[in-house]
Each structure stands twice: as C-alpha cells, then as structure tokens.
Chain A
C-alpha cells in the first residue's frame, strides 16, 4: 500500500514500505534535512559512515553538525522517562549521599592522586547546627579509602575505611568535641584548658595533647583506644543514663579494649605493627581468624566476603596486608598460604569463599 502526500515543501513522504522500485537512500546527498533526521533519530556519530564523511568534508559541516546536535541535546525534555526509572535514580542518589557509592568520578579522581577531601577520599558535608549557629562538618570516608583532616585547633586526624568523623567548624566552649564512627588516628594539639574529647557512640575518649588511635566501628564487638604518647582517659558507658561513665586511664604505648558483649576491659601493649598501619597502611596479623580478617579486608578494599562453609571462618593466618595491594593478588596469597585448600571467585563486588 502506498500513500503519497505532497506537502508545501516539495518533498514527498511515503507511509509504509514501497513495493516495486527500490528507493536508494544513499543516492540522496547529505543535506541539513538528512543531518537533522539522523540527529533526531538519536543515531550515534560513530555508527554512521555517512555522517562521519560529511563532517570530515569541511569545518563548516562539522560546525553545522555540532550546532544541531547541541541544540537537540538541550531541547531534550526527558518526558520519555518513566516514573520507575526516576525513582531508581533517586534511590541511587540517596545511597550516594551516604557515601556508599563507588562512582566513576571517584575512580578517576583516585588516579589523579589529588587529595581533595570532598572528592577523592570522602564526602564532606557541612550543615548548620541551628542551636549554636556553628557550622558542623561531617566527613565520611568510604571503604577502600583513607584520608586526613586538620581540625580547627590544628589537630590532625587520619581516617580510614568506612569511617565518619563529625566536628565543628570552630571549637568553642570548655571542650573540643568530635564524634567518630569507625577508626581514626589522632594527633591532638596540646591545650590543657580545653580537653579534647572523641565521642564514640555512648563512650568517649578524653584527651590532653596526645597521639592515639581509636577504633570504634558500630558493628564490631570491641571499642579500642590505643595511646602512643601523652595522656588519655577512656570513659566507658555501661549504664542506661548518659552520664554513667567508668573512667580508665590509658598508659602510653598501651591500648585499652572494651568488649561490648562481655562488658570487660582489657589492657595490652600496642602491637608492633601500629605505626606501619597508620603511617603506611600496612596491617600485620598473627594467627588471626579468616573471619576476622574478612572484616578488615572488606573495609580496606571495599568488597564483601561471603563464606560458603563455616569451617573456613576459623582458619588462621599470619602475615601482612597493605592497603595498596590489589585484592586479586591478596586472594591468591591467602589461597597459597592456606594449609588446606579453598576455592574463591569474584562476583559483582563480592568474594565467595568455599571448600
């Protein structure tokens, strides 16, 4: 069936397939109409030899294509997009706001090796505390990343994998208070009149000009404070009320660990690998269970480890992990180091380990 319509413009348009004579499109020279058709048809430039040849012919052709292409892009309303797609997009953004997203921009920034807090190592959000009218900063470091922050008093904090630090733009009042969720190494400027306090959940670490580390991941069973030099007081909150603290002084080069499940406090000497971990990102372990190591691997490299067999969790390993290592190399090393063999495979951000 052929329907022909003559329009004012002298062009003839056909509806449906034309039987009989074959209408060879290639005979028609490329002109603006054809150019526009290709653009509005959303044909990619690389998929059309005709377009490429046209553009290569002259700078004017090239410019013409660019102008129409741009105009077309700007006129896009996106009304074709359905509600479900929009909602999915918003969910992705909400996840991204919480820093759990590994976007291509983060990847590119990593290679660029620029330590800009808000881009390469974490998300810096600033919001106002309406009660006190002081801007509050919150920095979130996603898994597989590390960064350092300088606080308003000159104190320096190194933060690693999956850590959140909240601190005010200016320290006012009697105390210098920050909030930590995750792990950080602090080098606090000395100021006896204004003790420095690190709040970790219900507990807190009170400080007087020192170098120390705090490890307090909400999902972990322990909260740990490790002191290099200076003086810190670890206030553990056992009770239900806010002010119900038991205070423990930590000795230099010692660590204090609070076990949430048993409620017990342990003291020990800072392990040898402490400085290597914070300064060089090297983690040393000795007879540590695969299960425990899996948590750390998940944080360093932003992967999830799934054990197919519980027995595997209890196997122990001795060695070192470096944050600069490649996760693929690491798995191979574990595999060859393991007395009894095991299998593993990767699948979309997860590592499955089985016998």
Chain B
C-alpha cells in the first residue's frame, strides 16, 4: 500500500490544502471501513469526514506517519463512540435486546482499543514477522486480500483455488495474527501498511 512521503507530511503540517487532499484520499477508505464495523454505513462516512474536518481546524503537527495514523484512528474511534452513546439513548424506548447488546459490545470493543502512536509503531514489525512465518499459500492469499484489496472471489480466481479455501486461509492468518498480537488486543489498534 502507498505510504505518505515526508514531504507530504510536512506540507500537511504547513496547512497546505493539496497535501491535505492526498492524506484524505489515502486514509479515507480504510477509516470508513474501520468505522463501518461499528456504525451504519452512512454514519461511517460522516464520522470520518468530521474527523478530517476537525484535523484541518485544529492543525496538529505530525512528526511521522504513525502519529498521523494514530491521530486519525483515535478521532474516528471517538466519533464512533459518541455515535454509539447517542444511539443507545435514542433507542432506549425500543430496548430491543439484540440491538442493545450489539451497542454494548461494540462500545466495549472501541473503548478497549488503544490507538496511540507507540502501539502503531511497535506492531508493524510483529505483523511483518507473523506473516513471514505463515505457510506460503496462506500468506499469499492473505496478502492478495488485505494488501491488494482483492475480493475473495478475485483471489480465488487469481490463485485458481476455491472460494472456501480463500476464506479458510484468511481465517487461518487472522488466528495466527491474533495470537502474535495478543499483548496488543484489544488494547491496541494497528493496521497493515507499508508491507511492501
């Protein structure tokens, strides 16, 4: 995946709109899909847009990309939490058990997530190491899927294997990652970037 150059980061710090646009286009998709795991689709986009607007207004200065990642993910996480709190109150009269349970679990998940800079920096190497130890096929599937963003069907076609196999390999990779990152979950957030 593409990463930010130092130059872009510096221009962003200088509040240059063109740099802001580059950062937006790079991070918007992943942040939206992150948020979609916890809030409805339409809201996810709004919340992420708000995070960017807030970033522009507040003009934080970033030393490196990890700081920026941390800033954005923290912002989006907090917006999701605010939304979930708002939802909980709004729908209280309905008190549909499943809905409330989901709200509770998602809130707990987000609250337990530490999106600070340090963790962003440390986890990167752990993930890299973990993936290198996976069986070839498993790693292949996972990288095609997560890194290149191919849909499961596309991965199946590219590697000439069944869809179920693709899903199984992704599941396997996730299980291994979950173990190697156990010290950081749920107290940590990380993302796979700069894997090339």
Residues of A within 8 A of B (CB): 3, 5, 7, 9, 11, 13-15, 32-33, 36-37, 40, 42, 44-47, 49, 52, 55-56, 62-63, 65-81, 86, 89-90, 92-93, 96-97, 101, 103-105, 108, 118, 123-127
Instruction: Name A14's contact: one of B43, B106, B148, B164 (CB within 8 Å).
Output: B164
Q: Pick the residue among B21, B109, B170 that contacts A90 (CB under 8 A).
A: B21
Q: Do most interface residues of chain B lie in helix, strand or loop, or is the interface mixed?
A: helix
The 4 nearest A-B residue pairs measured at CB? A79-B149, A78-B29, A13-B164, A76-B33
Q: How far is the CA of A15 from the CA of B106 in the complex (A)?
A: 33
Write the nearest CB–CB distance from A283 to chain B, whole angstroms.
Answer: 30
- Is B49's CB within 8 Å of the partner chain A? yes
Q: B95 near A: Cβ within 8 Å? A: no
- Judging by beta carbons under 8 Å apart, are A81 and B185 in contact? no
Would you call the interface of chain A mostly helix, strand, loop, or mixed?
helix
Query: Which residues in window 147-187 of B have CB below 8 A to A?
Result: 147-151, 162-165, 167-168, 170-172, 174-175, 177-178, 181, 185-186
Report yes or no: A108 in contact with B57, Cβ–Cβ below 8 A.
no
Q: Do B162 and A5 touch (CB < 8 A)?
A: yes
Q: Are A80 and B151 in contact (CB under 8 A)?
A: yes
Q: Which of A49, A68, A90, A104 contacts B46 (CB 8 A)?
A: A104
- Across the interface, A79 reaches (CB within 8 A) one of B50, B59, B108, B148, namely B148
What are the residues of chain B within 8 A of A3 when measuring CB–CB? 162
CB-CB under 8 A from B82, the residues of chain A are 105, 108
Nearest-Cβ distance from residue A81 to partner chain B, whole angstroms: 4
User: Is A126 within 8 A of B25, CB to CB?
Assistant: no
Q: How far is the CB of A151 from chain B (nearest CB, A)?
A: 20
Q: Which of A33, A36, A52, A70 contacts B112 (CB 8 A)?
A: A70
Question: Are B49 and A92 closer than 8 Å at their CB atoms?
Answer: yes
A-B pairs under 8 A by CB, number: 177
Q: Are A78 and B33 in contact, with the CB atoms below 8 A?
A: yes
What CA separation (Å) do A92 and B86 show in the bound complex? 23
Chain A nearest CB from B30 CB (Å) reads: 4
Contacts of A123 in B (CB 8 A): 53, 57
Alpha-carbon gap, A78 to B192, bound state (A) = 12
Q: Are B1 and A77 in contact (CB under 8 A)?
A: yes
Task: Determine the chain B residues whose CB is within 8 A of the CB of A73 once the complex forms.
Answer: 33-34, 37-38, 109
Q: In angstroms, how far is the closest chain A Cβ from the Cβ of B1?
A: 7
Partner of B34, one of A14, A55, A76, A126: A76
A262 to B38 Cα, complex, angstroms:
58
CB proximity of A67 to chain B, nearest CB, Å: 5
Question: What are 6 A-B contacts with C-beta separation under 8 Å?
Answer: A14-B164, A46-B98, A80-B29, A81-B33, A104-B50, A105-B79
A124 contacts across to B, CB distance below 8 A: 57
B61 to A: closest C-beta gap in Å: 13
In the complex with contacts A5-B165, A55-B101, A71-B174, A93-B53 CB distance below 8 A: yes
B45 at the interface (CB under 8 A from A): yes
Q: Does B105 contact A (CB under 8 A)?
A: yes
Q: If the complex has contacts A55-B105, A74-B190, are A93 and B24 also in contact, measured as CB distance less than 8 A?
A: yes
CB pair B174–A40 under 8 Å, yes or no, is yes
Give A276 to B74 CA distance when docked, in angstroms. Answer: 43
A-facing residues in B22-38 (Cβ within 8 Å): 24-25, 28-34, 36-38
For A89, list chain B residues within 8 Å (CB). 24, 28, 32, 45, 48-49
CB proximity of A289 to chain B, nearest CB, Å: 37
Q: How far is the CB of B16 from chain A (nearest CB, A)?
A: 11
Q: Which listed residue (A5, A69, A93, A127) contacts B49, Cβ 8 A?
A: A93
Whether B163 contacts A15 by the Cβ 8 Å rule is yes
In the bound complex, CA of A127 to CA of B15 (Å): 8
